[in-house]
Structure 1
């Protein structure tokens, strides 16, 4: 029996196998043609996009009605000019950016590169220069809620729409300059460093009669301090600090105040409707200047209101409110709303009040809601509001048969009628509408379907032209296989849980393969890849090709979206509330067992391996603490292991406020004594996203509990430690490979120090 068991196991990977896996991305990255990314319209007739080409990528421009694409610019000339500016060799087929902006009548471009922002002239002589970030000069806010008071605010005067006045802040108070006479008036006199007027929030009414801004009581200036042990430019270590508010910390408290320009009269706004704020959205005057509005998120994320202010009296009222006993999902596009005509009479609003995220039209005066979409599916975001036709374009998932996570695009009238499905292809869709709303470019794919790009008529969605059809034949010939999609009932025995399976390139169904799960259970999204492109970075900070690289060493690697993640029902999502330690594990374990029951090669008998980064790192550690009977080997990168140690915004959204014992129950530190199995912790000492102390506190707790574990601290590395393509990243990846080969495959690894 022992001999049979040994022959059923894959052989130990040698150095050649490691080398292939560590360089798999480079080997496969440039083996496709015509895979286009989403389009960007230049004007009503032309659009541009990037597509794969032999050995790299090319940027092209297309015109509606013309079959041939034209180069967006001369990539070789640009590569030469950019290389001279950045001091590095650049291949014209592999420019160091994926997106750019035309400017100066398309005679120049701006782009972000790994070396910073650049501007390049495209004339006869291509020339490039480094440029600063002039997009936003406002004072930075840590995680959106605490201003960095070590950075001066932008006190550039803001001119009124009629050009008569300039408003600015001086010495924490609001000032007004009358341009015709040069006279300067002081509008407020009671500002102070502890209660200041913020110039970054200043807005004028359209008729220039009033100016409004937020008055701010600053929150806690908590700073995380990191030692950079091995700087490249000097021998001695450096000290780095970062403004970093954590759950429970006082945040900036904002209160709007309005001033009449002519008289200087101050109009105070009572805060009864927005007491205890976590965050207020920027102030916005309505088109008639009589009212202004802002979105209020209450501390604890259980109440969100759209509040209207009378600009003459300061009186406030609630236009629409969301309330939840768990959380109101205030994350990313879920907080979108649209003021129709900027008049306040009608608002497009998203809400989960019926158990699914849907669109509503709100009467701005009465607050009555008309539901525009309904059913057991999810509106993901508003794509475009066509006010002239009284229609809204939106992205959604779960309405079409099959995988409920596939994103499609729809259009519906403001009365909730005439819902039209605009993206008929079976896959994940991203569209770009022309400025005149006459056409749109639809780019779609699936894990097993390379990108297809189509030009469609926006009136009814009919196909005008197939713009691109990606060719991945060389990639498949090199050994790439599309992951298998699989669904099985979760913890309740009925809700389908969806995931994917990556098998070794030379998979032998007669063998048994240990299983490793790549996990990321962050409630802010769903995370299992749906698009074809296997080189995309996912929220788990893993690419499919990264999973393939690990699988090729003798494993089956899977990704799963369990309960507690987004883009299903409200009840599905609510599992995460004050419960991040759950991480959907009961659903994941049920999924694994269902997969093993149908596939004899899927070997979970000796325990399942697991790895993840950031929230996924927290999840990977949690697997060995809360489910050690099932998960036996874990590699955890850059984890937020205790939600009290991590950034304020993400953690209070899901774990709530005030900080209570639910934080301790989910803590990888407080539960360190429960750990069983083999653990490798990996941390970048300069992690700017998660306080690196979170990892060291886990290590301290494990030591005090007498637990064995491995710790790899990487000098100079940040939050993306081990997830790039440099030599340091490959070293970290190799250490992950070694850990699973030794402890899950139970084979000897090469002697790397030989």
Structure 2
């Protein structure tokens, strides 16, 4: 039993801190078969895969995709260089970087050269991080994520990049014999991009403007379009690094950082005759105050230029058609939601030249769907509104113009499942008929065979380890179950897996989804303080849906807390009305739904003590966490807020204007923690990295000044060299842990024998 020793390690003791720190080590090996590999043959006719064997070691198989016939094969550790399943380095590419994140996998690097090799991971910006070396003749298994890019180089001062590999789904064995060759430094221009003629045109640039981006050449070569930019204010932020690691004296860093309401760069399209160089006089009345002009596209005959206009304030989005023969512009599509158009996540346009149509994403029905629009007549046909009452399109995965089908990632496809589960379906562009590709009660990811005839579907939940299935693309039919991860050994470490819970929100009917994490020494006869990890950013939904036991909330729970994560109203990927709660109202943060959810959860789980509730979060979550003890201190006793954007006027322009609108108005003041700091009525820990380039750290310091002027008690930790998220560093986590032990258990942390009973400390507003 897990709770037999609960009383031996009093809450917040040094022993509990050590147990929390050892969580990852204690869970090592607790899940078998979650990260086993698989690999397609070049023609897609066979699949090599691993699954847990009876002896606990991976067993490898090959499967004939067409028949499902299965035969024993060579394991990942035994794959030889001449195996059809071996991986090779690809040529090094300029500006290469990691572009996607998939499931956790392993790569086995086999060094067949005469010298040591250095392994480097290339992050999302292309920066390289060394992960050590592999000696000549040796091999090494590297944990990674499908889609991550790795570069292999010779070791030493005169190092040479030999090549790179993008980790495939399932991982694999990479054999390095020598250089992979030199990659293409320049890709071929796509249709509508510049060719040499466009670059050489002598185009007059108006005073005060500059040409930006690539010119877009019409297919017939008669016209070319450019974007011209007028410079805005270009606000700068200066940070002072008080304790540099390489020198004694402080130094300043200054960088561009536009904020809400600033005068921004403005881009406008201009079209020119290639023969004469004369500009096409066009009517710009259709696209005033542009936030962005994007997705330039020419009609097949070169007479019409299309582009997307997002108006500043994000309440008007249009697909504009420019007839270059006359200069006349018109709106093919004109979206004008009452609140905001989520251009950052839901703007999708794909032109179908053969039928003079465009695929367009919109929430005009109240849910995010995909539409087919005739560019000439404006006739609209919905492709996905018939899929289900609460189905939303999460993303367009691929379009097959010849077959007239589109593959979509969907949420809410099955009414009896969690609406945040990712599912997939193929849709007929002409009829809207759907072929579901995923079926299980879990969130899915897909990996297709090279010929597209089959795919591996991996599904999982927070309370269900991953299952991999091989399915047919034609009808989604099951060919074979490949592997089923075994998490039974986790019960030797955790008293309970994370639990899913659903309860009505503020309106008494809308389902609100969340999860609970329990201490590994959980004792059902006791009552535990509750801590919420919050991130209410409207750009996404944030409660985990995949299976992973060693998350930060579980580590925190080890100290004697029940930790919860909830997606309240105002977050993304439900109905438009659900999302709209955030419009000009970031202060709301879904708190009425979160509180209702916790009260309902406590009815089912009476071990939750709602007289002792804490909350923590970073970035937008930092703003949310502090707001909890400004507006809801009768429920939340203590809040830890890291790197918060405490006043949305101080934060980056794109994120804040998307949800708060433009021009800046009184709604910004209403959602500002700075303006309402005097209402603080709970314990507050503020942390900030002085070198944060994501959220201006002055936002936290302004709140600090306001709290001082209001004579409020609070704690502040400044990380002089810390960046964004410094409060989640090892030191920051330890101080946050201490803060919650003091304020939710009422005694000093890490004592050998904490008192059996103790009064809770007084906060800014005694309860």
Shorter-normalised TM range:
0.7 to 0.9
Partner of 1:335: 347
Partner of 1:352: 363
Partner of 1:187: 203
8 Å CA contact 1:10–1:554 kept in 2: the answer is no
Distance in 1 separating the partners of 2:429 and 2:473: 17
Q: List runs of 5+ in structure 2 lacking aligned partners.
A: 1-5, 77-84, 89-107, 121-127, 135-139, 153-161, 168-172, 753-767
- Offset at residue 390 of structure 1 (A): 1.5
SS in 2 for 1:201: strand
Partner of 1:211: 224
**Counterparts in 2 of 1:580 and 1:41: CA distance versus 1, 3 Å:** farther
8 Å CA contact 1:681–1:711 kept in 2: the answer is yes
Distance in 1 separating the partners of 2:211 and 2:51: 50
Partner of 1:115: none
Distance in 1 separating the partners of 2:685 and 2:316: 40
After superposition, give the CA deviation of every residue in 1:706-737 in whole Å (9 maximum; x if it has no partner).
011111111222113243xxxxx211111111
Partner of 1:736: 736
Partner of 2:521: 506
**Counterparts in 2 of 1:698 and 1:159: CA distance versus 1, 3 Å:** closer
SS in 1 for 2:118: helix
Partner of 2:277: 264
Distance in 2 separating the partners of 1:160 and 1:596: 58
**Counterparts in 2 of 1:110 and 1:312: CA distance versus 1, 3 Å:** farther
- Offset at residue 293 of structure 1 (A): 1.4
Q: How does 1:354-753 map to 2 (within 5 A)?
A: 354-374=365-385, 375-400=389-414, 401-434=416-449, 436-479=451-494, 481-534=496-549, 545-606=551-612, 608-723=613-728, 729-750=729-750
**Counterparts in 2 of 1:128 and 1:721: CA distance versus 1, 3 Å:** farther
Superposition CA RMSD, Å: 3.6
Distance in 2 separating the partners of 1:89 and 1:102: 12
Distance in 2 separating the partners of 1:399 and 1:558: 26
After superposition, give the CA deviation of every residue in 1:383-436 in whole Å (9 maximum; x if it has no partner).
222222222211111231132211211122123442222101110012233454
8 Å CA contact 1:351–1:357 kept in 2: the answer is yes
Q: Name which of 111, 117, 125 aligns with 1:81.
A: 117
After superposition, give the CA deviation of every residue in 1:74-112 in whole Å (9 maximum; x if it has no partner).
4253995125997663583335665346999xx942469
Q: Report which stretch shifted further, 72-81 or 516-525.
A: 72-81
- Offset at residue 165 of structure 1 (A): 3.9
- Offset at residue 350 of structure 1 (A): 1.4
Partner of 1:109: 164
Distance in 1 separating the partners of 2:305 and 2:52: 50
Distance in 1 separating the partners of 2:376 and 2:150: 42
Distance in 2 separating the partners of 1:446 and 1:467: 18
8 Å CA contact 1:36–1:453 kept in 2: the answer is no
Distance in 1 separating the partners of 2:573 and 2:240: 39
Distance in 2 separating the partners of 1:731 and 1:244: 29
- Offset at residue 217 of structure 1 (A): 0.8
Q: Name which of 175, 179, 198 aligns with 1:167.
A: 198
Partner of 1:34: 33
- Offset at residue 123 of structure 1 (A): 3.8
Distance in 2 separating the partners of 1:340 and 1:502: 48
Distance in 2 separating the partners of 1:99 and 1:386: 23
SS in 2 for 1:93: strand
- Offset at residue 523 of structure 1 (A): 0.8
Distance in 1 separating the partners of 2:41 and 2:539: 32
State the TM-score, normalized to the length of structure 2. Answer: 0.81
Distance in 1 separating the partners of 2:361 and 2:584: 23
Q: Name which of 231, 238, 248 aligns with 1:225.
A: 238
Distance in 2 separating the partners of 1:376 and 1:748: 48
Distance in 2 separating the partners of 1:733 and 1:482: 23
**Counterparts in 2 of 1:640 and 1:10: CA distance versus 1, 3 Å:** farther
Distance in 2 separating the partners of 1:167 and 1:77: 46
Partner of 1:302: 315
Distance in 1 separating the partners of 2:31 and 2:617: 28
Distance in 2 separating the partners of 1:595 and 1:423: 30
Q: Name which of 177, 181, 200 aligns with 1:124.
A: 177
- Offset at residue 476 of structure 1 (A): 4.1
